[in-house]
Copies of this chain bind each other. A is one copy, B any other.
Amino acid sequence: MVSLKQLNYAVAVDKERHFKRAAEMCSVSQSALSSAIAEMEHQLGVQLFERDNKRVLVTAIGEQILDKSREILAQVEELLQLPQQDQKPLSYPMTLGVIPTIGPYLLPQVLPEVRESYPDFQLSIVEEQSHRLVELVRKGELDAAIIALPYPVEGLEVREFWQEDFFLVSHQSEKIAEQSEINAEELQSLNLLLLKDGHCLKDHAMAACRLNIQPVNETLGHTSLYTLIQMVAGRMGTTLVPEMALSQLLSGSSELVAIHLNEPGPHRSVAMISRPNYAGRSNIEALSSLFSLQLQHRDN
């Protein structure tokens, strides 16, 4: 098999039309270059150069082979450049998973900043529930995912970048709406609407209020936090909403109030998960710290 070194040597000879000078250009001895060219000619079965003690000419087939060689060497140069470009963070596409109770609230707050800081960064978002995201990250179909903890993620690397509490959202006409805080016990008397099983938000909410009652909307099909809020606005009950979703969910209806759940927290934390030997660790760090900063400063 022909080698890149040989191609390099041949191109140098073509450029210099002189073995000795070509050898100097390649920082090798004349003998090394000479035998390398000879070996290459032997391997290819054709003569590349016509040479005597005065001149070096290129054969017709040699011309073709040298053209191809230059092309190849240029491509190798390009290949060697690829890692350089990779050094700057977020320089190549990533696919990021996110759960439905985080995505719609976190991403609008952070993606504009990502876009501004790294205009060329291509980020694909996949929205799935936690168990599916964990599976996809494990399989390597996702580079990383954002889920809410606690959640079983054995064997994956976890970067928490946000903690938050839950707030009870109720209609202002409810009696409870006058309180500024609420304790877990008081929830018992309320008509609490939560998401279906499978959504970790339900588990976290129930854990936060040390609850094991069945919430009332269990028979509903696929539901979103937004739908629940619409139901609350329609006075069909109350619901628990994580802090990051509050402002967005309440911005529409001024009749709703949010009451802090007065239980020791944080009630859930938000984390980026990835495979432990994922190569783009620096990207994950860049992204999660950027997310963290944006969340902290979003009130500004």
Residues of A bordering B, CB below 8 Å: 1-5, 44-47, 50-52, 55, 57, 59-62, 64-65, 68-69, 71-72, 75-76, 78-80, 82-83, 86, 92-94, 140, 143, 275, 277-280
Contact = CB atoms under 8 A, between A and B. Distances in A.
A72 B71 CA distance: 9
Given A44-B80, A68-B75, A78-B68, A60 B277 contact: no
Contacts of A46: 82-83, 86, 279
Q: How many copies does the complex hold?
A: 2
A76 B46 CA distance: 16
B50 A65 contact: no
A143 B277 contact: no
A61 B59 CA distance: 39
A64 B82 contact: yes
Given A2-B80, A86-B46, A277 B51 contact: yes
B52 A65 contact: no
Contact of A83 (B61, B72, B83, B86): B61
Nearest to A8: B1
Contacts of A80: 2, 44
Nearest to A281: B47
B76 A2 contact: yes
A2 B50 contact: no
A59 B69 CA distance: 29
Contacts of A52: 277
A155 to B, nearest CB: 10
Contacts of A64: 82, 86, 92
The 6 residue pairs across chains A and B that have the minimum distance between CB atoms:
A59-B279, A47-B279, A57-B140, A68-B79, A46-B83, A60-B92
Given A50-B275, A61-B86, 9 more contacts: A1-B5, A3-B3, A3-B4, A57-B140, A57-B275, A59-B280, A65-B82, A65-B83, A68-B78
A62 B140 CA distance: 14
Contacts of A1: 4-5
B83 A79 contact: no
16 contacts: A2-B4, A4-B4, A44-B82, A46-B279, A50-B277, A57-B275, A60-B94, A61-B86, A62-B279, A65-B82, A68-B78, A68-B79, A68-B82, A72-B75, A72-B79, A75-B75
